Structure 1
Amino acid sequence: MMHNIPQLSDDEVEGYLKDMIAVLKDPKALLYDSEAQTAVTHLETLLNTRLILTTDMEKKAIESTLSVIEDVGTQCEEVSNAHKIRFQEIVEKETLRCQEKLQDLTNESIEKIRKETDNSLKGLQRERKNADLVEKNENILKDIIHLCKKKKEKCLENILLIGTAGCGRSAFINTVHKALSGRYIMKAKCGHGKCLSLTRTFQRFTNCGMKEEDIVNTDRYNDVKDIVPYLPSLIDMPPLGDAYNPQLQELLELAIGGYIPNGTSIESICKLQSENYPGFLKDYFATSDPDMKVGIVLLFYSGKGILPIQLKTKCEFK
């Protein structure tokens, strides 16, 4: 621009100098650049000295200024490129982190769905198993009803339930009653925790403890009410030990023979045995009650305990 002007006025030169100083003092790009500020110092010196500048001098000054500006532009470009690379690295890192987080969430969702599916399948299997069990129980009840209706005489058969403490005799009685009546009624008291057994006396549950008023379902009532008199009776014998001795043998013989009256305390019988001569109970309970005479003996034992071999052997012998 200046090559075509052989000579400039002082005002024009001053204007050009001030413009270049303003550019070199740009706070956004050149204010903190040392070379740019060195050029500013020289330009201000020229401006204050009021020298008459030749075209060659002005050309050199402009070229120097343009060189500084070019260098600063190059530096700015390098900084910009560095920021671009850093930004790209940050984007890639955050993208990878998000992908990993998304994968974790996906895996957690898949695991949650798998567990829920497994639980649902287990629930369906339990429901199906329960439904099969209910159907099986209903078929057994139908068989019982059919057999009872074929009988011509009311059932006088007694089933003696024996076993060690906590083996489930009372629970068996309540379960049989529930299967027949359709609802749970605690006919026999069950022990819990440290109190393994609550049975203290010989208890006879006539016709499995069934009464017509125990049946609340109309369909069940119509099916079962007529067979109640034909159901066997259950005799719950207080818990026995597993020792082979004459006292145990005597108790079993008297219980099976129907000599021990309903409601007799086991403590009182054992006391009579210990305070009197061997065989005293046979003399004491001399009369057999047909209603208490046993035709079937069921031996109970807990799966958590040991099979009472001696008691089992005596029952099989009898």
Structure 2
Amino acid sequence: MQANFLIDLGDKAQVPIISFSATSPSLSSIRSPYFIRATQNDSSQVNAVTAIIQAFGWREVVLIYVDNEFGEGIIPFITDALEKVNARVPYRSAIPSMATDDQIVAELYKLMTMQTRVFIVHVLTSLGSRLFTKARQLGMMSEDYAWIITDGITNELNSMDPSDMASMLGVIGVKPYVPKTKELRKFMTRWQQNNPTPSPGINILGLWGYDSAIALAMSVEKAKLTNANFQMSKNSRSATDLERFGISKDGPELIQALSNTTFKGLAGNFQLLDGQLQSSPYQIVNLVGHGARPIGYWTKETGLVRELNSLKLLGILSLTPQK
């Protein structure tokens, strides 16, 4: 809802709206030339998830998602992708974002009565940590169950409480791959030095935000903009009158420059296509005793592989979750 509102304002004022956290696929239907999605669309990960399902030969999967726009947005894409690998979804579990522990437990008991033991979880970390804590207490984190989490949780693993991580042993997660470059290591070192309190570092949303700021600065230089020429409407009663604001004279030049800006950022290649960041490879991780262990990658060109730039397909044995 916030993104929709800001995109509408940007379109009316012809001012670029750059988001590094608005991942909902529904935003792709908004045809505003001034909206830049400098993040991965949630739908871009569904093929990586379904490739794991296909590798194990699972035929039934239960979808667990948060009951809001973030959770619902991915459902049509992931169900279509599962159908293509001959996997059906016998049940969808929609959990309220503010669900109580009793509500979570009640839903988990319902899942325990079903034959399907494979779950794809698409929620944010705050709900996900509670979900897995309760699942562990009910004995649902045993080898009889298989859990796959989308990047809504996987991107935040480094900042999760160790006790929450302990409830997720054996879980497989997918997340956009971030190359371990020299520039990234230097940036992380500066980040740690400038933060007085211990910090787990910046997750990929923060890196996309940093790259977005760099892209904007480069675009301003490329368009040779020195002053923000923004003319208020003569009918405007005040500078805060959102219904009567004017139009930016520099907006069209700036959005054109942004659309043509490419560089190697901290999060990987920054390149836009139709106003959206191009999809990167996905990393597959397995949560084991010492944290999240990388076990493979997924790319559009090669599917599942053990290592990037390797043509050797990822075998089922190497994907077997470890506790």
Place the TM-score, normalised by the shorter chain, in its bin.
under 0.3
Higher strand share: 2
Greater length-normalized contact order (CA 8 Å, ≥ 6 residues apart): 2
Q: Larger radius of gyration, structure 1 or 2?
A: 1
